[in-house]
Every structure is written in structure tokens, then in C-alpha cells.
Structure 1
Amino acid sequence: MTEITTVGVDLAKSVFQVHGIDAEGAVVLRRQLRRSQMLEFFQRLMPCLVGMEGRQGCATGSSNRWRRRGASLGA
């Protein structure tokens, strides 16, 4: 697989959309993940830039929770 350099995450209540691109901006990953699959997915990725929505009330503070979990992985 081409190396993923940037991942975008659309947070929801239970199913998240994940979109990954390589250094040239080509889409190399599009996937739906359940909440229970998120940590395992990011544990398997090489370090990369991760962007996620952060609006207030987004899945009841979900973006801050996932940011903290990502930081615990060394991101």
C-alpha cells in the first residue's frame, strides 16, 4: 500500500468515515470504521497528520476524546 501521509476523519455517533491521502494528494484509503475499530486502525498506521471535525457538540465532544486517544499513541 502507498504510504498514507494525511488522514481525515468524519466523526459520528457510531460509524466514522476515514479518508487517507499520500504525499502527492492521491486518495489511497476510503473506509467506514465503527467506534470499536478506531484505535486499532490508528495503532496500525505509521505516524501521519490526522484532521477531524471539531465543532462544538460534535458527537458530544467526540473530537476531543479521539484527540486524547491519538495522543496516547504518540501522535
Structure 2
Amino acid sequence: MQKHEREQLLVDLYEHQISQGHINGGGLKKDNSNPEDYITKRAIVKFWEEQGVIEKTAEAIGFINFKLTAYGIEYVEQNLK
């Protein structure tokens, strides 16, 4: 997983959650036509969750929902905007 991919997920989530007002955050849904993409993005979510930047809000087979934490919002605003 590339640094740019990790950062882009945060920027996209910030735009969705903060700029567009989706307070519940965003999510990933497994796409059987490209399972490698889902696996990569899931690993990125786990990375940011371990850093305290993202919080999982729901998880089941084939999907995961998550949102930026208060620290995550600050992190994006200070480092990626």
C-alpha cells in the first residue's frame, strides 16, 4: 500500500464526511470484479484505525463502514489540505 493511496482515502473520506455533511462517514463494499482493490483499501482502513484516525462503525462480510475521528479530521486539515 502506497503512501499516496493511504492519504487519498483520508482526503476522500474528509470530503464525503465533512464537506458534504455525511456525518456517519463512508464505507467500502466488496466488488467481486476487483477483490484486490477491496483488500488493499481494507488494509488502509486498518492502518488508519490503528493510528486513531479512523473509527470503524460497522463491519460484516463484504463491507465495512468507518468515519474520521476528531483526531482524523484535524490530521487531514493540518497535513493533507
Question: Normalization by structure 1: what TM-score?
Answer: 0.33
Instruction: Name the structure where strand makes up a greater proportion of residues.
Output: 1
Instruction: Name the structure where helix makes up a greater proportion of residues.
Output: 2
